[in-house]
Amino acid sequence: MGVEINHKFNVGSGKNNRELALKKLPGHEPGVVWLGGFRSDMTGTKAQAMVNWAQENGHASLRFDYSGHGASSGDFADGTISRWLEDTTAVIEHHTRGPQILVGSSMGGWITLRLVQEISNSGLDVELAGILLIAPAPDFTKELMEPVFSDQQINELNERGFISELSEYSDEPNIITKELIEDGRNNLVLSGLIETGCPVHILQGMQDPDVPFQHAMRLLDHLPSQNVTMTLIKDGDHRLSREQDIQLMINSLNALVANH
């Protein structure tokens, strides 16, 4: 059984340089990579469950914190989808070898799908063995945030450049910046076919207050008709961190490996 090793990795240059915290576990292919959610970090229940599965089955694994998240440097308010995609791309290019299964949770699902586009459009040298999306939130800034902004919030975004919202998952408020919203419009994925080139599994709770299950089902229209499996969890919330939810995640990982 392998042992996770802590690493620090620098991305960007000049004032945009940031130091990312990551943990690597050696093992055989395909490896698994954790892509976390908005304001989450790599110490969560699902990320740890992925590592435990990798250790038990001898697979390599990688998890990391985006800039401004967890143990990585940077100010969260400076973050955008483009910036966190750059973090993800650099970490995967430099710290993985061979085919990988991407496990994207919430916002990490959006970044996973953007990474798929980068592999296709930019010739990014990453081989995908499978994708597991957990409560995926593609295009959430445009589709889930902008439509419910009040006139006051829109004015605050335009005048101050940010708004502050209470968070159900943290004692600290969520800072939503105008830059995040505008950058989100440049990273939309629900606009055409997303050619993954690998099997995709989606886990989605039907009692998710943050990402309605109908939003995840929209994603199906943009994925190839073959090798896409969605599991709707009738009493599941956004976290999907209960024991039974984790077992569904493990089942999906086993299925993706068996299909590789």
Rounded to an integer, the average pLDDT of 33-57 is 97
**For all residues of the chain together, what is the average pLDDT?**
95
Q: What is the CA radius of gyration of the chain?
A: 17
Catalytic residue status for 238? yes
Q: Are 32 and 65 in contact (CB under 8 A)?
A: no
Take residue 126 and report the two structure tokens written for it. Answer: 């990453």
| Token reading at 77 | 């308010």
Tokens at 83, concatenated = 């910036």
Q: Which CATH architecture has domain 5-140+190-259?
A: 3-Layer(aba) Sandwich (3.40)
How many beta carbons lie within 10 A of that of residue 210, not counting itself? 18
Quote the pLDDT of residue 226: 85
* Paired tokens of 196: 């993954």
Q: Tell me the mean pLDDT in the region 14-23.
A: 95
User: Residue 161 region, left (φ>0) first, then alpha (ψ -120 to 50), else beta?
Assistant: left
- For residues 228 and 2, the model is more confident at 228
State the pLDDT at residue 174: 84
Residues pairing with 201 in the sheet: 132, 229
What average pLDDT does this structure show over 217-242? 95
Asked if the model's pLDDT at residue 71 lies above 80, the reply is: yes
Residue-wise pLDDT tens digits, 154-185:
999 999 999 998 777 667 788 899 999 999 99
> Which listed residue (40, 105, 106, 252) is catalytic?
106
**Does residue 139 register a pLDDT over 90?**
yes
Q: Which of 65, 183, 208, 210 is catalytic?
A: 208
Reply yes or no on whether 106 is catalytic.
Answer: yes
The dihedral built from the CA positions of residue 196, 70, 160 and 153, taken in this order, carries a sign that is positive
**How do residues 98-122 score in pLDDT, each as one tens digit?**
999 999 999 999 999 999 999 988 7
Picking from 231, 198, 196, 194, the residue whose alpha carbon sits closest to that of residue 216 is 231
Residue 61 has pLDDT above 70, yes or no: yes
